[in-house]
Structure 1
């Protein structure tokens, strides 16, 4: 199981440079490191002094062969993912209809880049070949939405499964689903519930695995990167709060090339702020200034549920109570902060119980039941 380390912040604050330094630091500690970047330009090749391709390449330097790097080209990833889709289709359908469509002719639609990149990172993490994967992504809200996709899709399945089951349409067609599906699918149809079939179970397991990974700071962790520009600081603060909405733990702040960090430390308390010096040819000064990434588990967790107190604690830094909206429809609670929504999947002790109160205190939204 590899640690996935990524960085959030405004463009131009040095995210990629710090990501490279982090990868070098971890490789120098003897860890097997994969550096995966979404930057298609030659900039990263120059920083690593290694020409990168769509497959992992050994990085030049004295890393004893345990440091590899690659570029996450969307077109290449789309071709590979499409082949997997066709294999699944052939597995479940008697007459596949995607077989005449080829990955090489597919275009990359807006929003696909981050999803394809993170799916590739997931596959490399599952390979067992690496201890750490440093993911040099876009570091913005779009990337956070993709990290939160497993939880969001899980909610859609839970919600619409029940809506469909309770609808007149669902009740009407249920007796006919099994014989029709049996004629179309290669697998045995054991019941009329489409959400309990093997393919659906496989999807649910994948989503649950993704949710658990993002919520575990020992598996996925992010750091904020900023300089002392007010716009960069405000962006990092906003991304900090948005990361909590997808369940992602932020381990600390890396203040890059700043004159003074006093005001920044106050802004991001209780996170630890580390000042990063200019890189002047030698990477050692930057690497030495980086934190111990294994200590990120000490950072505030995005959510804590106390069933004894009948309370849910949501850490939402960077937002005030005017920017946070709480609604309850049915057994779950929806939290809106900034441009992010999160549906809280409550334990049985609290599920279905009405909210009795809520307050915003020290960056936490505290919900009582």
Structure 2
């Protein structure tokens, strides 16, 4: 089973390209399921078929579904919330306070992602293509398994004996989230494809997204520049002059885009909105040509690596940092908190460095290098 996640800034055409990729894979004999976690629910419009929460056939080898996050919350969340509510009440909180405590932000996004994992685990498809929400929502979605699992691990350790039911539920959810995290960070199974339009603001956000996904250990295997103005070299007149000027601007934006070695595919704007399988397959053929849409760029260097430098050790954090990125670095016990343009991740330090002191840090476009000297742990 392969999982392809399509995301990008809102309005760049990620739904169309996800649907097009799924349509082409199915036409080439791959049993394919395409699902949407985007609340906009435009996948049905692109495929020109009605869709529900359960996979339904679109073509011989193609199925599709809309993941209804709110329905998942209504169905799955009350039982866990009841256990956590009893836990909170056992700590002496009033009933109203206990109710407020168990309204966890992001639970709908989390359940949508667990539904993706369930489909990947239980389905009979060769490929699962996911039309994710806009970039900000996707990054929050991908951060949730790790954040919630960490919280549950800490909470479970403090649960008292007479609340064994809550402890069991917390443990079960933590285990499930660990499996979800494993799926998302396995580059042999899962890859993200970033969709952008060739505009400077969109390109800048895409560079930040690359760094944020690398920080989450999520593998990006390609970028797709969508809606390029067709070349008008043989045309004449004011409209042709405008098209040439606009395409020149778009080419300049893409030439300045640092892809970090990722392949950059290009798709030209079409006169008619690509709706239905035939139109989607045409778009996909332009996107992939004769190549395999499942061809995946190998994973790069690991997020963390250690190199000895005399008595010191250098911790390399491999990230495609955008220019003028806002960076933050903090030592928190045995962890290192890394923040890039507001996206934060706390990573566990290798055992070798836990009794060392942070003495210096440097950054370039390929990542961070943190120097550790022998001694007791410190906070930079």
TM range (shorter): 0.7 to 0.9
Matched, 1:135 2:130: yes
Where 1:328 maps in the other structure, the secondary structure is strand
- 2:267 aligns with 276
Which residues in structure 2 correspond to 1:9-158 (within 5 Å)? Answer: 9-39=8-38, 43-60=42-59, 64=60, 66-82=61-77, 85=80, 111-157=106-152
- Which of the residues 171, 189, 206 maps onto 1:236? 206
Shift of 1:257: 1.6
Where 1:314 maps in the other structure, the secondary structure is strand
Q: Is the 8 A contact 1:302 1:316 kept in 2?
A: no
- The whole-number CA distance in structure 2 between the counterparts of 1:185 and 1:84 is 15
- The whole-number CA distance in structure 1 between the counterparts of 2:308 and 2:329 is 22
- 1:261 aligns with 251
Q: Is the 8 A contact 1:56 1:70 kept in 2?
A: yes
Q: Is the 8 A contact 2:30 2:127 kept in 1?
A: yes
- The whole-number CA distance in structure 2 between the counterparts of 1:224 and 1:54 is 25
- 2:286 aligns with 289
Where 1:355 maps in the other structure, the secondary structure is strand
C-alpha spacing 1:214/1:46, structure 2 compared with 1 (3 Å): closer
Which residues in structure 2 correspond to 1:194-233 (within 5 Å)? Answer: 198-233=168-203
- The whole-number CA distance in structure 1 between the counterparts of 2:295 and 2:335 is 33
Encode CA deviations 1:56-81: one digit per residue, 9 max, x unaligned.
Answer: 11014xxx3x2100112233222332
C-alpha spacing 1:204/1:73, structure 2 compared with 1 (3 Å): closer
Instruction: State how many pairs are aligned.
Output: 322
Encode CA deviations 1:110-131: one digit per residue, 9 max, x unaligned.
Answer: 7444223212111111214222
**Unaligned residue ranges in structure 1 (runs of 5+):** 93-107, 165-173, 187-193
C-alpha spacing 1:203/1:297, structure 2 compared with 1 (3 Å): farther
Mean alpha-carbon deviation: is it higher for 318-327 or for 219-228? 318-327
Q: TM-score, normalised by structure 1?
A: 0.75
Shift of 1:82: 3.5
Q: Comparing both structures, which one devotes a greater share of its residues to strand?
A: 2
Encode CA deviations 1:28-60: one digit per residue, 9 max, x unaligned.
Answer: 232221111135667432321321112111014
**Unaligned residue ranges in structure 2 (runs of 5+):** 88-102, 229-246, 373-380
- The whole-number CA distance in structure 2 between the counterparts of 1:263 and 1:322 is 19
